[in-house]
Amino acid sequence: MSDPVEKLCRLARTGDRAAAGELIVLHYQKTFAWFHRLSGNEHDAADLTQKTFAKAWPALAAFEGRSSFSTWLHGIGHHVYVDWRRRKNFSEPRTEEWWETCMADGPSPFEDAMERDLARRLYTAVERLDEPAREVIHLHYYQRLSLQETAEVLDIATSTVKYRLRGALDALRSHTAEPRLPGLKPNAL
């Protein structure tokens, strides 16, 4: 855990509201952006972010620093999101219009994509993955958690994260492969 965040956690555990506020400032935007991508709208993202922080503060005294504060907070957020999805009972894939509202304003795994169409297809393909695969993609690539941090958040082995990522990436490659005309070599156009 980074030194300033560790100090803020220590102070917040003792009831220091300024330190708690600083932790919110440092982590709110990233948490909100994650939930915005997952939920597809600002209202649900704000609600999920608020619920995550509301669950985190009473539990802060039990935070032992075995993982980073960000990983610990994502773990709480993951459980909040899973509960929310269960209550909403999502079963249909997202539409392209829905994904248009989810384009990240800041850095995302797709900011270097050459075309918006590819990013849209990738988002749509990710949404078609099964829930375990979507979770590792969202945490590892969208939230930029390490493999170990992703495993901690999901309470699974790092090898399971790697296995799910490999399967998800293989599925995404097949969904987003450019159609080829017969007789043309790749990059022949």
**Domain shared by 165 and 108, yes or no:** yes
Average pLDDT over residues 89-100: 64
Q: How many contiguous H segments (helices) and E segments (strands) does the chain have?
A: 9, 0
Per the structure, the count of domains in the chain is: 2
Digit-coded pLDDT (tens) for 15-71: 888 888 888 888 899 999 999 888 888 999 999 999 999 998 888 878 777 888 888
Same domain flag for 97 and 80 = no
pLDDT at 184: 42
**Does residue 187 lie in a domain region?**
no
Positions of E strands within the chain: none
Q: 72 and 23: one domain?
A: yes
Nearest to 78 by CA among 56, 98, 52: 52
Which of the pair, 70 or 183, is modelled with greater confidence? 70
In whole angstroms, what is the distance from residue 178 CA to residue 113 CA? Answer: 14
Residues 72 and 142 both lie in one domain:
no
Confidence of residue 93 (pLDDT cuts 50, 70, 90): low
Q: Containing domain of residue 70, as a range?
A: 1-90
